[in-house]
Structure 1
Amino acid sequence: MSNELIIDVSPSHVEIALLENKRLVELNREDSNAKFAVGDIYLGKVKKIMPGLNAAFVDVGYEKDAFLHYLDLGPQFQTLNKFLKLAGSKKSKFVPVSKIQSDPDINKEGKITEVVKQGQSILVQIAKEPISTKGPRLTSEISVAGRNMVLMPFSDKVSVSQKIKSTEEKNRLKKLIQSIRPKRYGVIIRTAAEGKRVAELDQELKRLVAKFENAMAKLGRHTAPSLVLGELDRTIAMIRDVYTPDFGAIMINDQEAAIEIKDYLGTIAPEKKKILKYYSGRAPIFEHFGIDKQIKASFGKTVSFKSGAYLIIEHTEAFHVIDVNSGNRSKSGNQETNALEVNLAAADEIARQLRLRDMGGIIVIDFIDMHGNENRQKVFDKMKEAMGADRTKHNILPLSKFCLMQITRQRVRPEMNIDTTEVCPVCKGTGKVTPTVLFTEEIEQRVKFIFGELAKKRLTIQLHPFVAAYLKKGFPSRRLRWMLEFRKRVTVDEVGSLNFLESKYFDENREEIVF
């Protein structure tokens, strides 16, 4: 699999597109002045204690107070508070984490009123970004993420990613980290650490410890609420999380950002610095690499994916609903076989849509009905396989007898939502139309269906003069390419009375083919 990262930097925002085999699978957008990203560490002030919720509301500088539950305080919350007082003192010298004497763990069944007081300054980390009307969700189990590991101050545990399958490799990594980690620091070993040597892991561990302690040494300069340690910017963080040795290219249209990324690549994979390329073309970078077109085709209520089959994606306050439809697909064979084929293809597209839109919470999928238990199992297995590349925590339940599937997917950021409709050129903006860039693709799909599934011998297409001219322009034109591909005659007629996005199709007997 070949992975590519296309990065569009503008004064107002940064957009990052991840492609797998030229197919858009993830899209992230971050405003230039964005704050409260997952991983940011803040010095906050407790504004209100809620004993009934066993939680507190904390001021971290956002317009709404952030939410901190007792279970998110972490076992070593008292040790963290002791460290915060020492580090925040302007009189005493900074004491490293390894020199701090650990206090007993807080009671798992305890009450927040026992450990937190109103007006208290507290060190917290963003666990979920502000979503809809809710403020950020916080945790006091502080962590600092690196490429190969996640550093956990005030912990003594070492754990290994479940995605590393080899027991021998798990034991090797665990023993290695236990031998080099400083006291009072726990470590979560990430999948990327598989096969790495001790020198590389030791270097990263020291870098993460230094990063955390350098930020903590400056706590005396902060007054709550304030940002203490920011997560890497979204571009670097995404490269850190998604980078694999088979990454083929990283394209970016900003020289300053390109230098930062090249420096970061130099620390994690020096031999891959050459894959970074600066794009200086006149066309927008997303348009040049076909990203804009994929965005138009992938967002919106209806998403086509194979031979006329399509998904309908609806969003409610409680959950997301995805309906699988076979469309005008009319292959020969029994209904069960056709339903299985469409459902298997739908599973692939749904897994892509969840990553692309970053849909979280509860997702209910209505697959096409299948009667065989073995076919429902095949769709369930296919969905698990397709979701294997999704880094976000998720849980998939088997299909019910009504062919409904439930998925829960962790939500830490607002869902990516892009309006793909355009102002109607006919009614001057009183209505909306589907993206015009997809209209010619729709025509092409219908041409393939007419010659392939319906086996027609000749085709006449009636279109608005502007669209007809586009299909006939250049050499070879789209019309000529269709004729060469299907070895059938295709005529494109200009009809001024048709709307801009209206089309009609006639076979060799001049009988209209209705879609």
Structure 2
Amino acid sequence: MSEELLINVTPRETRVALVENGMLQEVHVERAARRGWYGNIYKGRIVRVLPGMQAAFVEIGLERTAFLHASDIVRAATVEMLTEEGATNAPPPVPPINELVREGQELVVQVIKDPIGSKGARLTTQISIPSRYLVLLPRSRTLGVSARIEDEDERARLKSVVQNFSERNGCGYIVRTNAEGQTSEALAEDVDYLDKAWSQVQARAPAAKVGARLYEDLSLPLRAVRDLMRANIEKVRIDSRETWDRTIAFAQTFMPDQIERIEHYPGERPLFDLYGVEDEIQKALTKEVPLKSGGYLVIDQTEAMTTIDVNTGGYLGHRNLEETVYRTNLEAAQTVARQLRLRNLGGIIIIDFIDMEDDEHKRQVLRTLEKFLARDNAKTTVYAMSPLGLVEMTRKRTTESLARQLTESCPECGGRGVIKTAETVCYEIFREITRAVRQFEARTLLVLASPKVVTRITEEESAAVVELEEFLGKSIRFQAEEQYGQEQYDVVLL
């Protein structure tokens, strides 16, 4: 399995695409006017404590106050052995929020989830700073090794090396997947970098004003190289000479063995066009996803959850109905895993597979889904298939989905996905005319509406207009306005 990282840079926007065997798997977007806040560390102030929610609202200089839950507030430091999947021991009970913080209190916090929709950013005081091979946990004594490092001897070696660092400086560490096979010297360089980064935060914090940013994560190109550069990444192609220079300088310091894989792309044809990435991004903004078999998925993202419906479409199969459904669901499971990464969908996800009778078929579909989700860097949890063929799962979300980054609600329908028919709007106008005549004196009424609505009124509803004029004793005129949407109209008294 070969992978490539493509980095496209324009003056106001940077995009990173992860392409696997010629197929787009992930897209990350960062705009100069609206960089994300995930991973940044701020000086904050508690503005409101909510005991009923075990949470507090914190001012950190963003448009909306951020959210800090009691479970994300550091208490007594503990030493735990764990993987990135979570602690092996149950955490101690969380004290009441008003015992942990008070209104007006200033504290150092980190953003662990960007503002999404109408919700503010989510914060923690459990600071973590990532580097190439390690994640520093300065307020914890946690020691951990990525669950993706499966060799037990290698896990034990890395755990021993990290233990020495932890004993020396009293901090916790998590060993990242990229650390597999690295020497203790390479890990020690990462420790020095992380120590300096945390020391700068500590030095700035006391004198900083509320809302001051104490630490900012790397820009998107450098983050992508740091986090996504794995053994099977054959090339990193960057279409900006300046960004390439910065990336090479970063690699010389933190990953000198990877420099030869980082290339500058000078071609005239746009890099994303060369790999078909632009077309794939456009497809990722649509609701329907075709399957090779002839079936298709329908993906609906709402505030509460994302639903994915699987349909056989034009796939007729070759044997029987059960086999047709099974094959469609298997292909759908693979496609769903890819679409979740590509669209960066998170939170609660409900997948409505086509009903299957055979229990073994259900197990195979679930295994296929879990197998392809294993490639996802985001943490996912999949639950058993329900009797209705529904699979509930969660995917950790730290930033907005691709659609919410690149699109906005339609001004015509307000995000409903539908608009009122011309007939419906006609009858609304008739009611508004009646309401206006009863409230105000006027001889003539002028109705401004979209051409389609005016055509409907003056042709199919002309008899109704005559009846209304006789009933009200008023003259009614209609004027088409090209710039009006189908639901928009005004009734003017003359």
Could you say which TM-score interval applies, normalised by the shorter chain? 0.7 to 0.9
Per-residue deviation, 1:109: 3.5
Deviations 1:368-410 (A, max 9, x none): 2211000000001000100001111111112223221111111
Per-residue deviation, 1:279: 2.3
Per-residue deviation, 1:76: 4.2
Unaligned runs of 5+ residues in structure 1 are: 78-105, 423-430, 432-515
The answer for the alignment partner of 2:485 in structure 1 is none
Contact 1:41 1:124 in 2 (8 A): yes
Q: 1:114 corresponds to which letter in structure 2?
A: E
- Going from structure 1 to structure 2, the CA distance change for 1:107 and 1:289 (only over 3 Å counts) comes to closer
**Structure 1 position 375 matched with structure 2 position 361:** yes
State the Cα RMSD in Å. Answer: 2.2
**Structure 1 position 412 matched with structure 2 position 361:** no
Deviations 1:96-150 (A, max 9, x none): xxxxxxxxxx984322222322222110000100000111000000111112111
Q: 2:176 corresponds to which letter in structure 1?
A: R
1:202-217 pair list within 5 angstroms = 202-217=188-203
Q: 1:149 aligned to 134, 138, 150, which one?
A: 134
1:186-201 pair list within 5 angstroms = 186-201=172-187
The answer for the alignment partner of 2:313 in structure 1 is 327
Per-residue deviation, 1:61: 0.6
CA distance in 2, matches of 1:419, 1:121: 36
The answer for the alignment partner of 2:59 in structure 1 is 59
Find the residue that maps to 2:126 and give its secondary structure. Answer: coil
The TM-score, its normalising length taken from structure 2, stands at 0.76
Find the residue that maps to 1:172 and give its secondary structure. Answer: helix
The answer for the alignment partner of 2:324 in structure 1 is 338
**Structure 1 position 281 matched with structure 2 position 267:** yes
CA distance in 2, matches of 1:409, 1:4: 24
CA distance in 1, matches of 2:302, 2:272: 30
Per-residue deviation, 1:269: 3.2
Aligned residues, how many?
395
The answer for the alignment partner of 1:271 in structure 2 is 257
Contact 1:215 1:229 in 2 (8 A): yes
The answer for the alignment partner of 2:39 in structure 1 is 39
1:346-357 pair list within 5 angstroms = 346-357=332-343
Per-residue deviation, 1:155: 1.9
Find the residue that maps to 2:169 and give its secondary structure. Answer: coil
Deviations 1:388-441 (A, max 9, x none): 011111111122232211111112111110569x9xxxxxxxx9xxxxxxxxxx
Per-residue deviation, 1:304: 1.0
CA distance in 2, matches of 1:126, 1:274: 34
- Going from structure 1 to structure 2, the CA distance change for 1:275 and 1:166 (only over 3 Å counts) comes to closer
CA distance in 2, matches of 1:369, 1:2: 35
Extract structure 1 runs of 4+ deviating beyond 6 A. Answer: none
Unaligned runs of 5+ residues in structure 2 are: 78-90, 411-418, 420-494
- Going from structure 1 to structure 2, the CA distance change for 1:404 and 1:174 (only over 3 Å counts) comes to same
The answer for the alignment partner of 1:387 in structure 2 is 373
Q: 1:122 aligned to 107, 124, 128, which one?
A: 107
Q: 2:164 aligned to 169, 179, 182, which one?
A: 179
Q: 1:321 corresponds to which letter in structure 2?
A: T
Contact 1:3 1:248 in 2 (8 A): yes
Q: 2:288 corresponds to which letter in structure 1?
A: T
- Going from structure 1 to structure 2, the CA distance change for 1:271 and 1:173 (only over 3 Å counts) comes to closer
**Structure 1 position 315 matched with structure 2 position 301:** yes
CA distance in 1, matches of 2:288, 2:33: 32
Find the residue that maps to 2:398 and give its secondary structure. Answer: coil
Deviations 1:264-290 (A, max 9, x none): 222343232122222233333222321
**Structure 1 position 73 matched with structure 2 position 48:** no
The answer for the alignment partner of 2:279 in structure 1 is 293
Per-residue deviation, 1:170: 1.8
The TM-score, its normalising length taken from structure 1, stands at 0.73
CA distance in 2, matches of 1:157, 1:308: 49
The answer for the alignment partner of 1:7 in structure 2 is 7
**Structure 1 position 131 matched with structure 2 position 125:** no
